[in-house]
Amino acid sequence: MKARIAVLAGDGIGPEVTIEAVRCLRAVAAKFHHDFELIDAPVGAAAMDAGLDPLPASTLALARKTDATLFGAIGSPRYSDPEAKVRPEQAILGLRRELGLFANLRPVVPQASLRHASPLKDNLLEGVDLLVVRELTGGIYFGRQQWLEDSATDECRYTVAEIERIARVAGRLAQARRRKITSVDKANVLETSRLWRQVVTRVMSDEFPDVFLEHQLVDSAAMLLLSRPADYDVIVTENLFGDILSDEAAALAGSLGLLPSASLGDSKRGLYEPIHGSAPDIAGRGIANPYAAISSAALLLRHSLDLEAEAAALEKAVAGAIAAGVLTQDIAPRGMAAADTRGAGAAVLERL
């Protein structure tokens, strides 16, 4: 098949890990006889350094007309002033909003060979295979913001329609898995959470009666996610809670450098990125973990291009590289020589 893919490497370690994902996509195209056109464009601090907006109009136009977007990372200490009106992070929020990407999928499946990298005991990691479904374009990140001399406001707002559509995404995904959904909220305190709980309950009852639904408060879920992680199948939650809980879930896998994500909307077009940030402290040193970026490319193959066999082959190659002991600094046991970014990418390519 022919496909056009926007490549927005971004800032910090973004370019370093993204190039490995791009190499893998090119290898998949060659192996399976596809024609992938990968088109680079600036975003975030890299765009600002060139005198452009964090999300240049040309970059947004490219993302709108390509089949999928591969994203690296965003953010730079050069633009970290909290009072600044223009910040690199506005680019990713803008992309989600303008492309209508309201559902963020973050799978967490710890690998047996990396149990040493998790702070949890081995017995807690047995059978862990969960998926966080995070609402991505509503809530506090997109509400009204105001900064006054002696106060600041971030408004959290959700509509019934926003909750319905993310609940349906979670329901469909749960039907293809173990048919269990945990909806996470703070309904004992927040009005938005009380609405969330009411709407999710109705959608599951009316449209997904074959899926078991439970509700958990976010503080309880944060504890249970680390004490009983195997109990979870699909976790559906709002924007802020999903952001925090999915990063916490990285402790199950062993590193933020291992977890991919897919941001989807009503069409096949999606945005794919590792859940880690730009990590400016290690940028340019060639030690960043590329496995999350490469696994994000696998999600791109699966969800935007409908290439399941190709996605599975890439995920198997990542798992094989890890099982063979090609481990970057963040997941290598103490005293073991760590692989660099390029070496980890090469190990995946070898297994493809």
Chain-centre distance for alpha carbon 89:
15
Alpha-carbon dihedral angle through residues 313, 2, 275, 204, given to the nearest 10 degrees: -90
CA distances to 179, 192, 253, 293, 303 from 18, rounded to whole Å, are 34, 37, 20, 6, 18
141, 158, 272, 291: which is the annotated catalytic residue? 141
11, 67, 158, 186: which is the annotated catalytic residue? 186
Closest CA to 299 of 262, 268, 330: 262
- Cα separation, 324 vs 5, in Å, equals 30
Phi, psi of 5 (to 5 degrees): -125, 125
- Is 272 labeled as catalytic in the residue annotation? no
Other CB atoms closer than 10 Å to residue 109's CB: what's the count?
A: 14
- Is 186 labeled as catalytic in the residue annotation? yes
Is 239:180 a contact under the CB 8 Å cutoff? no
- What tokens were used for 134? 């995070």
- Cα separation, 270 vs 305, in Å, equals 10
Closest CA to 283 of 11, 85, 13: 13
Other CB atoms closer than 10 Å to residue 91's CB: what's the count?
A: 28
- Cα separation, 182 vs 198, in Å, equals 14
- Cα separation, 240 vs 182, in Å, equals 16
- Is 31 labeled as catalytic in the residue annotation? no
243, 272, 291, 330: which is the annotated catalytic residue? 243
Q: How are beta strands 103-108 and 152-154 bridged, if at all? A: unpaired
Closest CA to 318 of 118, 92, 21: 21
Give me the sign of the Cα torsion angle 113, 170, 74, 59: positive
- Is 122 labeled as catalytic in the residue annotation? no
Is 331:289 a contact under the CB 8 Å cutoff? yes
Is 36:52 a contact under the CB 8 Å cutoff? no
49, 129, 231, 247: which is the annotated catalytic residue? 247
| SS3 (DSSP) at 211 | coil
- Is 121 labeled as catalytic in the residue annotation? no
Give catalytic residues, as residue numbers.
Answer: 141, 186, 219, 243, 247
